[in-house]
Amino acid sequence: MKRMKKNRRKRNEVVTAYAFLLPNLVGLTVFVFFPMIYAFYVSLHDWNALSPKVFIGFDNYIEMASDKRWWASVGRTFLFTLIYVPALYCLSLFFAVILNNLKQKYQSIARTMFLLPFAITSVISAVIWMFLYDPRNGVLNQFLSSLGFDKLEFLGSTNQALVSIVAVILWINIGYNMIIFMASIKEIPKDYYEAAKIDGASAWRAFRSITFPLLRGTSTFILIVTMIASFTVFDQIMVMTSGGPASSTEVSVLYIYKQAFEFLNMGYASALAVILFLIIFILSLAQLRLYTKKG
Amino acid sequence: MKLKKSTLTIFAIVCGLLMIAPIYFLVVGAFKTPDTVFDLSLHLSNFTFDNIKQVFSETNIVRAIVNSLIVSVTVTVVAMLIHAMAGYALARLNFPGKTFTFGWIISTLMVPFSVIMIPLYMVVQNLGMANSYLGLIVPMIFNAYGIFLFRQFYLEFPKELEEAAYVEGLSIAGTFFRLVLPLSKPIIVPLTIGFFTANWNNYLWPMIINQKEELNVVQVALANIVGGGYETEWSVMLAAALISAIPTFILFFIVQRHLVEGVKTTGIK
Amino acid sequence: MKLWKKLMTIGFVLTLIVMAGCSSDSDGESGDTVTLTFSDFHSEADQEFFEGLVDEYNKVQDEVKIEYTTTGNLTDYSNTKLPVAFANNEGPDIFMTSPGDFQKYADAGVLADLSPYFKDGVKEDFLPSALEAVTVDDKILALPFELELLGLYYNKTMFEEANLEVPKTWDELLAAAKELTTDEVAGIALPTDKGAYLNFIWYPFLWQNGGSVLNEDGTKSTFNTPEVAEALDIWGSFFQEGAAPSKLQIDPTDIGNLGGGTAAMQIVGTWAIPMLENEYADGDFGLAPIPIPEGGKPATAAGGWKFAVNANSEHVKEAAEFVMWAVGDDKERPLKYVTETKFAYAPRQSVVEEGEEFYDKGLRKVFTEEIYDSAIPEPKFGAEVVDAVGEALQNVMFGGMSGKEAAKIADEKIQSILDSKK
């Protein structure tokens, strides 16, 4: 009797699971997965979007192997990710912990201030920062020279442009990731901390032995999602430098966009996108594995 | 201890002020005459409403805001519901093919939008959704980000609550809708902010898929005012950006008040 | 709980609204009227002009109805909206193309041959060079309606204060730019980002020095020459010596750099004149031909958009007839556009003559008398060649390369692009 009930329950569970997933699976298949497969299909063709496709097998992939500009853009994407992801992770977690310790009133004010940049469209935030970064009259340089430092070129320099763009994208996204961390910190029962306090643990110790480990799930989520986002970053770079100066900010998606829509090499661009997808996929998988293994 | 808290408060507020400092430029610039827009000082003599007026007179911005509200709110509400369902199934329920389904869903995050733009247009066109609200709304609902975050949340959701519900004879679906979903506010709030903002600020997709002026969303309408030609009227552009950001600001103020307490601290009692 | 219920209610109501909105959606095809779509990227005054044009055409005849839509950003228009639409066979019947993307549309065969639709004598009325720029295999694939020339705009007051003459040679230009550079003012404002516009502003320097990108029939790269290297070097020296800013606050197409007082000189096109007259009327600005190298010949680039008809349209004839009616028939309509709506030259002799008195007004006189004769239409290279030239410029501007090195690298690149297209 009990077993029958359990079996029915199990069947019920499977049916409910599929029913819950169905709308998403249908939608994602039609609006994301099918276009992805189509992009792969296009990658086996020579296609300029305007005239019929010509099947050329894996020629696009062969061509890619010797495309120095592509591999340089992949290198820049990795560099961008290596700066952006740790910075975003640390800063948003840092401020989440700080804000969490404030009184409700101040916490709410500070949270709103951190979140406001997220409300502004990426194009407009890029424009605002172009003004702040201006080599001659920009606010940042005025500030630097008032402190007696040399002026910086920011977006006009091949060394500083990428980092300057990272700073803008951090500015936009810190607040949002911070509130996701905060939502998660709120789930940690307060008595854990009280117990730690009684044991005489310092704040840093409490963070290391309670907060940080309990946030591991959220951390993995943020790290994976941020990594994917940084591999597909586009808008702000397009507006601020369109890949310049002298290609120093030409990341992979920018190059794919150029191949696709400026040169109209749709087939080749799709092949590049397929490879970029594989790179991101492998990295995400590795991160997920790392997470489940430890757990 | 008391002193430490006030130091933290001051530090957080100062950092917050630095965060919003660049927005000062946007707000001040929107009320300046075109030739003084780069002057960051607050001279009242340069103060003008002309930029705002121009935005309102050159396009049917009210209609565009209504369109954007329809699109963003619908996408957000529908997405919250079905993503929560999917996230719950992936976190809590056992079924064959679970790991594969999860991996497959996450993989859809990894494609740059510019690559699938052409086939997506094709799909939407063939479904007869081009030039309609459906074309603006439906493709934007499906996004693995929300599913992923809901799953994460439900993995850490206290099991005891659901077990109590089962004992009382509720079905799995019933438990989810009556008990779990209402307690998911801590994650629905940030996701609402994220989805609404992303859709409110979406420009590329509505620009491509819609040709009808009466269905223009805010970002497209504003781009039509300030774009084109060889001159950019910065003052008008900043005014347009400010107008477009205000509804999002308002949403932030409304919903983030709900971002206060966690499930474990309120739910169990 | 309450929040959730509220959201659900809102969502439900909105879904109903959406459904209602969709059901009233019907196609406006009625009777024998042919409906044509016309899509471009104009805004403000230009948009009004084209809207007016379409309205008028819809009134004066009843066989064709034209629907006009505009995308308010020309990069999005030509790099996103049109390719996506064409890739799905949804391209507009009538659209606009620039020298920067003319070649790719021509190669793909989506540009209809307009030559059969010229009225008597109109073809001869067009400037030969302007039509040549849109002709492939004796087919006229687009119809130009504006010629925008480049000139050197400068701030007279700043020149007087520094006691400087208006530069006539490259060396004088560089010297003046350096002299006029201060903490607040840039000597000369030039485009900094890679793109068709950067090349467009540089081409006069190239041509003045006798250089070219490709040979006559477009089969071979001619980029690896001393002439090209010198033209790259002078351009690079503006940036390397700090006379041109590495990044501009305002778009390089926008005369606001000069007008707002942040630059002493700026190379811009004819379109800047109305803006200078209206927005910056207080300032004292001058205009001169772009300086030439020692022993070089004057040259300027002539750009501008062109009307095109979709070759895959079901109604090529009707679309072509509209285009001809708009800018290839009477003189009033095209003249109104290039004189009242904006300032440019018409590519038709009779229209320029009709507007004679207008072309002598203010700074326009400099264009008409000193610059017009040296105009060469912007070349219609493929986008990859444009990119390779842009790369060479970026390399001398920011990459610390000499003109010679940059020219050599670009030459190889261009040749390989040409070879792969065969």
Rounded to whole angstroms, the Cα distance separating B178 from B174 reads 6
The verdict on B214 and B142 lying in the same domain is yes
Q: Which of C236, C267, C243 is nearest to C254 (CA)?
A: C267
Copy the structure tokens of residue B182: 């209402």
User: What is the model's pLDDT at position B210?
Assistant: 87
Mean pLDDT, range C72-82, rounded to an integer: 82
> Which of helix, strand or coil describes residue C381?
coil
Does the pLDDT value for residue B247 go beyond 70?
A: yes
Rounded to whole angstroms, the Cα distance separating C252 from C393 reads 16
Total number of residues shown for chain A: 295
Domains and CATH numbers, chain C: 35-147+304-365 (3.40.190.10), 149-302+382-421 (3.40.190.10)
User: What is the model's pLDDT at position C286?
Assistant: 95
Any domain includes A253:
yes
Rounded to whole angstroms, the Cα distance separating A128 from B30 reads 12
Rounded to whole angstroms, the Cα distance separating A34 from B108 reads 10
With contact defined as beta carbons under 8 Å apart, do B34 and B235 qualify? Answer: yes
Question: Read out DSSP for B74-96?
Answer: HHHHHHHHHHHHHHHHHHH---T
Any domain includes B155:
yes
Partners of C95 in the beta sheet?
C308
What residue of A is the nearest CA neighbor of C400? A246
Torsion of CA C164, C234, C380, C367, to 10 degrees: 10
Rounded to whole angstroms, the Cα distance separating C252 from C254 reads 5
Rounded to whole angstroms, the Cα distance separating A28 from A30 reads 6
- The number of domains in chain A is 1
Rounded to whole angstroms, the Cα distance separating C247 from C258 reads 15
User: What is the model's pLDDT at position B265?
Assistant: 56
- Domain containing B76: what range? 62-232
User: What is the model's pLDDT at position C88?
Assistant: 84
Candidate from A159-168, A201-210, B254-263 with smallest mean pLDDT? B254-263
Q: Which of C85, C78, C42, C39 is nearest to C386 (CA)?
A: C78
The verdict on B112 and B143 lying in the same domain is yes
The verdict on B212 and B152 lying in the same domain is yes
Any domain includes B138:
yes
Chain C residue numbers with beta carbons less than 8 Å from the beta carbon of B118 are 83-84, 87-88
Rounded to whole angstroms, the Cα distance separating B95 from C333 reads 70
What residue of B is the nearest CA neighbor of C27? B131
**Predicted confidence band of residue B140 (pLDDT cuts 50, 70, 90):** very high
Rounded to whole angstroms, the Cα distance separating B18 from B101 reads 43
Rounded to whole angstroms, the Cα distance separating C107 from C84 reads 17
User: Could you report the per-residue pLDDT of A10-22, keeping only the tens digit for each?
Assistant: 788 899 999 999 9
Measure Cα distances from B62 to B56, B221, C68, C93, C409 in Å: 8, 10, 22, 31, 53
Q: Which of A284, A175, A285, A216 is nearest to B156 (CA)?
A: A216
Any domain includes B220:
yes
Query: The domain spanning residue A200 has which CATH number?
Result: 1.10.3720.10
Q: Which of B125, B111, B109, B138 is nearest to B208 (CA)?
A: B125
The verdict on B29 and B159 lying in the same domain is no
Residue A268, min C-alpha distance to chain C (Å) = 13
Any domain includes B42:
yes
Residue B11, min C-alpha distance to chain C (Å) = 32
Partner-chain contact A20 B85, CB within 8 Å: yes
The verdict on B49 and B146 lying in the same domain is no
Any domain includes B156:
yes
Partner-chain contact B211 C250, CB within 8 Å: no
- Is some CB atom of chain C closer than 8 A to the CB atom of A160? no
Any domain includes A23:
no
User: What is the model's pLDDT at position B3?
Assistant: 54
The verdict on B103 and B30 lying in the same domain is no
Question: Read out DSSP for C256-306?
Answer: HHHHTTSEEEEEEETTHHHHHHHH-TTS-EEEEPPPB-TT----EEEE--E
Does the pLDDT value for residue C368 go beyond 80?
A: yes
Rounded to whole angstroms, the Cα distance separating A176 from A222 reads 11
The strand ranges marked E within C156-234 are 186-189
Q: Which of B109, B94, C376 is nearest to A232 (CA)?
A: B109
- The number of domains in chain B is 2
Copy the structure tokens of residue C57: 């055409």
Phi and psi at residue C384, to the nearest 5°? -70, -35
Partner-chain contact B207 C269, CB within 8 Å: no
Any domain includes B243:
no
Copy the structure tokens of residue B197: 């903002």
Candidate from A11-25, A122-136, A237-251, C356-370 with smallest mean pLDDT? A122-136
Candidate from A140-144, A291-295, B28-32, C242-246 with smallest mean pLDDT? A291-295
The verdict on B37 and B49 lying in the same domain is yes
Partner-chain contact B245 A121, CB within 8 Å: yes
- Is some CB atom of chain C closer than 8 A to the CB atom of B54? no
User: Could you report the per-residue pLDDT of C87-115, keeping only the tens digit for each?
Assistant: 888 899 999 998 878 888 888 889 999 99
For residue A85, give every residue at least 6 positions away whose Cβ sits within 8 Å of its Cβ, in sequence order, or none: A223, A226, A227, A230
Tell me which residue has tokens 């790179």: A279
- Is some CB atom of chain C closer than 8 A to the CB atom of A66? no
Total number of residues shown for chain C: 422
Copy the structure tokens of residue B136: 């603006």
Q: What letter does residue B111 receive in the DSSP assignment?
A: S
Instruction: State the best of A2, A15, A16, A74 to mutate against chain B, taking most chain B CBs within 10 Å.
Output: A16
The verdict on B30 and B112 lying in the same domain is no
Q: What letter does residue B176 receive in the DSSP assignment?
A: I
For residue B76, give every residue at least 6 positions away whose Cβ sits within 8 Å of its Cβ, in sequence order, or none: B192, B195, B196, B199
Rounded to whole angstroms, the Cα distance separating B185 from B165 reads 19
Q: What is the mean pLDDT of chain B?
A: 86
Higher pLDDT, residue B133 or C77: B133
Partners of C383 in the beta sheet?
none
Q: What letter does residue C43 receive in the DSSP assignment?
A: -
Rounded to whole angstroms, the Cα distance separating C190 from C197 reads 10
The verdict on B118 and B203 lying in the same domain is yes
Any domain includes B199:
yes
Q: What is the mean pLDDT of chain C?
A: 89
Q: Are β-strands C186-189 and C263-269 bridged in parallel, bridged antiparallel, or unpaired?
A: parallel
Q: Are β-strands C263-269 and C148-155 bridged in parallel, bridged antiparallel, or unpaired?
A: antiparallel
Tell me which residue has tokens 């001869």: C124
Measure Cα distances from C8 to A99, B107, B193, C3, C18 in Å: 31, 29, 16, 9, 15
**Predicted confidence band of residue C26 (pLDDT cuts 50, 70, 90):** very low
Report the alpha-carbon angle A156-A161-A163, nearest 5: 150
The verdict on B38 and B121 lying in the same domain is no
User: What is the model's pLDDT at position B267?
Assistant: 46
**Predicted confidence band of residue A96 (pLDDT cuts 50, 70, 90):** very high
The verdict on B161 and B42 lying in the same domain is no
- Domain containing A71: what range? 67-294
Any domain includes B40:
yes
The verdict on B215 and B125 lying in the same domain is yes
Copy the structure tokens of residue B220: 């497209």
Q: Which of C39, C97, C122 is nearest to C346 (CA)?
A: C122
Tell me which residue has tokens 């110790």: A205
Mean pLDDT, range B76-81, rounded to an integer: 96
What residue of B is the nearest CA neighbor of A11? B95
